[in-house]
Amino acid sequence: MMTNIGKTPEIDSSLPRRLEWWQRAQLERQGCSSDNWDKVLFSPGVALPLIRNVHFGENVIVEEGAKVRNVPGGIVNCHIRKRATIENVARIEFEPEAACGVGTPVAALDETGSRPVYIYPGLSSQIATLMARVPKWVENKLKPGLQDFLDSKMVPAEIGEDAVVRDCGILSNVSVGKRITVEGASALRNGAIINNAPAGREAAYVGGGVDAENFIIEDGKVDSGCILRNCYVGQGVTLEKGFTAHDSLFFANCSFENGEACALLAGPYTVSMHKATLLIGCQTSFMNAGSATNQSNHMYKLGPVHWGLLERGVKTSSGAYMMFGAKIGAFTMVMGSHKTHPDSSSFPFSYLFGDERGATVVVPGAMLRSCGLLRDEKKWPTRDRRLKRKLPLNDRIIFNVLNPFTVDTMLNAIDTISGLLAHPADDDLYVRHKGMKFTRAALERAKTLYTAAIFKYLSMTLPNQKFPPSDGEEPGKWVDIGGQIMPRKMLEKALECEEIPEAEKVFSEAFLRYEELQLLWIGRRFGAWWRDRVERIPIGAAQFDAMVDDDREEYLENLSRETQMLAL
């Protein structure tokens, strides 16, 4: 019978260990020092000539292949992984049990903090939307297990394998993931930089002059002088050219330059490129903000408690201004100044003009003529930086411009417009509804535009141009949750969940079943009037296409005239 009694246990020769006296002497000759060499561990494969001019505090581990040079302020409580490079950095330090940004409450929408979104690796635009829009869900359902969940998402106090940290100021409680480059950052405090991409496709990057505190950057790029406070930067996001933000969240493929964001929940594909642009206290997705776009969330009574919702696809012209609270319908163009807290969500695809008094004049459905709408729908998936990087996708996105959410709104808008046209206009020839102004001609035209768009939608979604049978159930409403179109019933199911992973499963189910649920909704939603006109579906769709083609031709003709005007 074999026994280990009396035998010396084998020691793993690859484990980090204390330096021998001659190794310490060599490092000291190379300009290194330590508060306590016994608390500094090196893997056997570390090449000591690559370690120069570094002050080591306590609890530091250096693995093989690491290159560490010129860190005069010291490295404290840090694990430097294999082949990591640290050069010309003022100081790298971790406090015991540092959170590294995980669990930071971000005061999105309402700057007073009444709607906190707790950030963590893997945060999706769907969960962030629920936290911000339904704070009672966090308080009543998530709170008992939230801290345990956040603890499970904690990141290590380390500079990851093959990471590069070069020419930076202080990194304090900042976890740098594997194969990430941080170069030229001025100061980073309490954050995590996370890479989920395979080797050679890394998206996470922090560049020159970046100053960030209380943040998570996950597969996103922050560069050229950005200043961030209390922010989550998601997959495929780029922030650069001096952009500043606080208490803001940026999800898939957003691009921001030059301007400013405060309490912004930026859903997928939100874009802002101009120095004078401020997005504040609002939720967006697929938005394009024109230069000098601005909003107000503070009317000097109770603080900055007002916030707005810009449904998917909203665009703003140069100098557009909105006084929140306001709710702008999907795929709407906003021009001028709007001070009457408009709610145009019942009229998607509209033009909104601000008159001389700040009132909102609506031309409903006018955006449906735009040749850019369906072009954008095709463009967005091709510009998905997450796919190019082969990332696991945190955010679920439905790209369709015409979908159950926008189509149901147009169906309701047709009924609303019929009711408005049943009454005469006011003395100034405007029809008024919920504080907005319409001309009768615009309302009449909108019925035609909405009907053509619905026929186009049906032509794209109905198999063999036949309506699916109705099962007799109510169709139910659909919602847009951070870029994902889904039935409200499934949203309500998610809101019953007491743990975030459970809610994520509901969103994933709704995403995978989108086509099936859409056909089920069509069967329930479209009644006799539409079914009796099934033969008109291709005709109406052709009218829609012709309208879009006319807009494209008109645009090209105008462009040609302008080109001739400017020719030498």
Both 100 and 86 in a single domain?
Answer: no
80 lies in some domain = yes
Query: Is residue 87 domain-shared with residue 101, that is, in the same domain?
Result: no
> Which region, left, alpha or beta, applies to residue 167 given φ > 0 means left and ψ of -120 to 50 means alpha?
left
Asked whether residue 385 is domain-assigned, the answer is no
Last residue of a domain, one of 37, 63, 91: 91
Q: Are 117 and 238 found together in one domain?
A: yes
Which residues make beta-bridge pairs with 403? Answer: none
State whether 240 and 207 are in the same domain: yes
Q: Quick one: which of 440, 449, 386, 421 has its CA closest to 124?
A: 386
> Does 548 map to a domain?
no
Domain identity same for 130 and 64: no
Evaluate whether 80 touches 69 at the Cβ level (below 8 Å): no
CA–CA dist 77, 64 (Å, integer): 18
Residue 10 confidence (pLDDT)? 52
For residues 218 and 291, state if they share a domain. yes
Residue 464 lies in a domain: no
Whether 60 and 104 share a structural domain:
no
Quote the pLDDT of residue 11: 46
DSSP 103: T
Asked if 459 contacts 538 with a C-beta cutoff of 8 angstroms, the reply is yes
226 shares a domain with 179: yes
Residues 45 and 117 in one domain: no
Number of residues written out for the chain: 568
In the predicted model, residues of the chain with pLDDT beneath 70 are 1-13, 299-303
Would you call 34 helix, strand, or coil by DSSP?
strand
Of the residues 272, 303, 334, the one at which a domain ends: 303
Let me know if residue 220 belongs to a domain.
yes
pLDDT of residue 8: 45
Structural domain contains residue 187: yes
Give residue 196's domain range: 94-135+159-303
